[in-house]
Structure 1
């Protein structure tokens, strides 16, 4: 610990001790609220010094301590510093090795504060990075149970961010979070949840036939991956209501071919439909990895394929994999 951080922490502790004495002492030396505010300000400076020393977890705890004081011990105006200070703590907690539980605690306080005070944009803008932190952790671990749990947390964060961005009428950011929620729900085999998001995205994309068809394709592939033939049949009937040309599109032909092959349990027909889609110009790239991952999972539903099918990344289908967001906009961070 640097001398600067050490000195600042000692000063903050003295101020806190003084503020807690109350009575005539604080009457003559300044009000306790002022002392608490000064102590919190000093802790923020100490946290900055700790961060400069690369002591991120100590900095995180110090920021969080300052935020608690702002929230619990200061006046209404100063209390507004609490959520921002919690976010500074969050940023430190997600440095490796990440402390996601503490990071989530800080983000939850900040986002609830802002949402209660009619600043839902700030709430959404911080909930999305929390989801990204969960996903970053997923990429670095192998425990399947923990991977699924972290993905679930990520999906919930993205859904909250999408809801709040929608309230601010920021459709682009809302849709970006819906895409993330859909993809990670699908990777967790929560196909019904993913399909719902993809359907909403498609219907909201009427201005772009390309995007609409891409989202309808993802929606249909979720039904196929789930082996839900009833939902797939219904969806194929409904897609043309929104896009009259869907049936004759590459996406439409792929879904019809895959659905028929799945129902007939014909692997050759399934692979032929996939090959025709690839030959139409839709090769496996980082921009459509999710499509081919879902195709691979749908193929697994054909009897006899559970043990033999591998996904596009060369890993068994049962093992969760990380994919690049499809149709996602540039990262804003």
Structure 2
């Protein structure tokens, strides 16, 4: 089956190339689109043969040909998207390139939702497969902007939370704070999202503490209580309040204890743990002065 599909793909590519060399009564655009469709069929045959790189190349070639015809924006974007799906298997950098080519066509066609979705997918590849935090950060940010342009605030907020998370990992705490607080403000009056406020406030508060500005941190936490009256009753508020006291008084052991007590009931993830370690180190450094 695999060898048969692969041979069919090769035959289809030969057919597409022959089509491109032929003269057409209907002009060149039809010739390009016809050849593009054949390349797409070849891509699907390569997928059946599990030749993912060759499948991606075939879909990429189809996209380039669609761009030469009259249906570039929709069909070209779709072909690049299919190429990216194939490249994702073992060539994530090529997948990101294909997605960015799709984005150009999406934006030209005013298809902001598709462009945003492709940016989000590119961001996930940069974050998880390529370990490129800067590119992931920028792509999530662009995805959020386009989701907002498409009037999809929930999808935009999901991307903004990723922007905030990565910004903090890159020590861009003010950006992280701004994004967490932006999502929190958008969630205050939404009954379905309000339960997440304590998480956003905790993350923003930890970022504030990492800046070393304790006065601004206290003001921010007071502001969170004003935004959501129930925040003062949460374990997240108590953790922030206790950490602020420990920073104020230079109490490393007490800091360790209050974090331990919180973690016993609500497991801290690696992101929060990394920020808490930075805060603890700042207390220790202050003690040495």
Residue 13 of structure 2 is aligned to residue 15 of structure 1: no
**C-alpha separation in 2, matches of 1:292 and 1:210:** 22
Residue 266 of structure 2 is aligned to residue 282 of structure 1: yes
Deviations 1:143-168 (A, max 9, x none): xxxx3xx1221122222222222233
In the other structure, the counterpart of 1:53 is: 49
**C-alpha separation in 2, matches of 1:160 and 1:213:** 26
**C-alpha separation in 1, matches of 2:108 and 2:285:** 53
Deviations 1:80-113 (A, max 9, x none): 31111111111112112x241x322221222232
**C-alpha separation in 1, matches of 2:197 and 2:86:** 39
**C-alpha separation in 2, matches of 1:78 and 1:283:** 49
Structure with more helix by fraction: 2
In the other structure, the counterpart of 2:85 is: 91
Pairs within 5 Å for 1:248-287: 248-278=233-263, 281-284=265-268
Match of 2:124 among 124, 132, 143: 132
Q: CA deviation at 1:126?
A: 2.0
CA contact (8 A) 1:37 1:78 kept: no
Q: CA deviation at 1:241?
A: 2.4
**C-alpha separation in 2, matches of 1:31 and 1:116:** 24
Query: Which runs of 5 or more residues in structure 2 are unaligned?
Result: none
TM-score (norm 2): 0.86
Q: CA deviation at 1:256?
A: 1.9
CA contact (8 A) 2:100 2:118 kept: no
Aligned residues: 279
Deviations 1:2-30 (A, max 9, x none): 22111111111112222xxxxxx544xx5
Moved over 4 A (4+): none
The alignment yields a C-alpha RMSD, in angstroms, of: 2.4
Change (3 A) 1:226 1:85: same
**C-alpha separation in 2, matches of 1:33 and 1:117:** 18
Pairs within 5 Å for 1:1-333: 2-18=6-22, 25-27=23-25, 30-71=26-67, 73-75=68-70, 77=71, 79-96=73-90, 98-100=91-93, 102-137=94-129, 147=131, 150-206=132-188, 207=190, 208-278=193-263, 281-284=265-268, 288-304=269-285
**C-alpha separation in 2, matches of 1:55 and 1:223:** 49
CA contact (8 A) 1:226 1:298 kept: no
**C-alpha separation in 1, matches of 2:194 and 2:88:** 39
**C-alpha separation in 2, matches of 1:53 and 1:278:** 49
